Structure 1
Amino acid sequence: MVAQAEHCETCVVRNRSICSALAPEDRQMLGREGRIQTVRKGQTLVWEGEDALLVANVIEGVLKLSTSTSDGREQIVGVVYPSDFIGRPFGERSQHSVTALVDSRVCLFPRAAFDRFAHEHPELEHRLLNRALDELDRARRWMLLLGRKSATERVASFLLEMSQRLGETHCNGAGPLDSFELPLDRQQIADVLGLTIETVSRQLSSLRASGVIDLPSRRALDIKDRKRLMALAGD
């Protein structure tokens, strides 16, 4: 097993995660509080409504944030990628479940230990605040997407966001990907976008027929005309 301090020095997301706010010696100190855990596809790391005992940095993979509606249905409320932060520091209850969409790895911290460390390191608290504000901005953009955009605009916007976020993780920030595997199936995409699975399938087929994208397999996607896709997204 790799020592945690050694892992911190070789961690692929250390320059983009919340830990990047810390000096190297402080990062290693925080690292000694954590442990690396593999989360298999379909495995739930955190359950909605449970005591918030853990927080985590995503190192590898893609996970979904979901909540249950009053009639028991699942609603996906977000997707997290490498370098994203999971959990609710200084909170008592988990607001949503966190489940791996693909095999993933996370760096887990006991929430109580993380909270104490954050209190002692204002630069980490400041980074957490910035992250929270970024998530608020993302939530506002998503409200616009769901409330104002057409089905075509929603699907196009979703594909562009996937391209950008997956590009950040695979290309070290070099730019969005033109070819990638969708981490969500069509039903999950429909749930995220507030559409039916039939509508999502029709929109993808239409984009493919018009030469904007290609779908080599059920999950694989190639963006053939990014400018047209951006125009269809309303960007």
Structure 2
Amino acid sequence: MLSQTREQLRLCSQCPHGWLSPLGQLGEEAQQTLARARQTVLFAPGTPIVRAGEPVTQLYCIASGTAKAVLSVGDDGEELLVALHKPGDLLGLRDLFGERRHSVSVIALEELRACLFPAELVERFAREHLSFWVRVVQLLAREIEAIEEQFLLFQRRSVRERVIHFLLLLFRTYGADEEGSLRFPATPSSIAELLRTSISAVRRTLSVLERRNLIRCADNRIRLLDPEALSQLLRNT
């Protein structure tokens, strides 16, 4: 029971991913208040964490697992990939200080554990702690920039450009292991699903990149051999 109590009262700054979240940069007293209000929830793969249109009553900080943020476009309900999320990401922050309704749906890509915090508590801390508010504004600016980049990706680029951009996005978001393989388990089918394109088109692009010695595909893992050359190829297309 003692270890459970310690876990329940752990501060955000003591979380392995706490340095990624603005909550982990609050003072100790504010973090203790958050710890007492925090709930932890597990989401199975494919489960919505939040749905577009729902009111923002809680914020979700990802403790483990990955997720995708999607926006329904058109009358057929086609989903546009808006962002990928990793541990340390705080979901709902942008909409809390906007329309107070979730603008996108966020879906777990694998088993995901999230810490839930009352939205009104986070909003109060933003009013009371200037350094926290500055950090929030910085995160919001980066998030808006990333969303604009995603819209540009889907509206103006070819399948090859989208695949290259997506591989670089995975690299920037989740990183690579000691052998250079993406930590995100990307396969042709999962990439095709996320980019809303055909598996054959994705496979053709991956084959071209392999022949250019830019990537290696093996055992359902993709290894980026030269991320900078891949970025340069994208800039030149």
User: Structure 1 length normalisation: TM-score?
Assistant: 0.83
Residue 69 of structure 2: SS of its match in structure 1?
A: strand
Against the structure 1 CA distance between its residues 9 and 83, is the aligned structure 2 distance closer, same or farther, given a 3 Å change threshold?
Answer: closer
CA distance in 1, matches of 2:35, 2:138: 21
User: Structure 2 length normalisation: TM-score?
Assistant: 0.82
Deviations 1:43-65 (A, max 9, x none): 21112222222211122221111
Q: CA deviation at 1:193?
A: 4.0
1:159 aligns with 2:159: no
Q: CA deviation at 1:115?
A: 2.2
Against the structure 1 CA distance between its residues 183 and 65, is the aligned structure 2 distance closer, same or farther, given a 3 Å change threshold?
Answer: farther
146-155 or 18-27, larger mean C-alpha shift = 146-155
Q: Which amino acid aligns with 1:179?
A: S
Contact 1:63 / 1:102 at 8 angstroms: preserved in 2? Answer: yes
Q: Which amino acid aligns with 1:83?
A: G
Deviations 1:153-208 (A, max 9, x none): 322221122112112xx78xxxx982124355545534554644332221112212
Against the structure 1 CA distance between its residues 4 and 49, is the aligned structure 2 distance closer, same or farther, given a 3 Å change threshold?
Answer: same
Where structure 1 has 5 or more consecutive residues not aligned to the other structure, the ranges are: none
CA distance in 1, matches of 2:196, 2:48: 23
Question: Paired residue for 1:203?
Answer: 205
CA distance in 2, matches of 1:63, 1:95: 16
CA distance in 2, matches of 1:60, 1:212: 30
Q: How does 1:63-142 map to 2 (within 5 A)?
A: 63-69=67-73, 70-87=75-92, 88-90=95-97, 91-142=99-150
Question: Paired residue for 1:146?
Answer: 154
CA distance in 2, matches of 1:227, 1:68: 33
Q: Which amino acid aligns with 2:230?
A: L
Q: CA deviation at 1:82?
A: 1.6
CA distance in 1, matches of 2:210, 2:15: 38
1:229 aligns with 2:230: yes
CA distance in 2, matches of 1:76, 1:145: 10
Question: Paired residue for 2:28?
Answer: 24
Count of equivalent residues: 228
CA distance in 1, matches of 2:228, 2:138: 31
Report the RMSD for the aligned CA atoms in angstroms: 2.7
Contact 1:62 / 1:100 at 8 angstroms: preserved in 2? Answer: yes
Against the structure 1 CA distance between its residues 130 and 77, is the aligned structure 2 distance closer, same or farther, given a 3 Å change threshold?
Answer: same
CA distance in 2, matches of 1:74, 1:150: 18
Against the structure 1 CA distance between its residues 44 and 142, is the aligned structure 2 distance closer, same or farther, given a 3 Å change threshold?
Answer: closer
Contact 2:11 / 2:31 at 8 angstroms: preserved in 1? Answer: no
1:213 to 212, 215, 234: 215
2:59 to 55, 60, 65: 55
Q: Which amino acid aligns with 1:48?
A: A
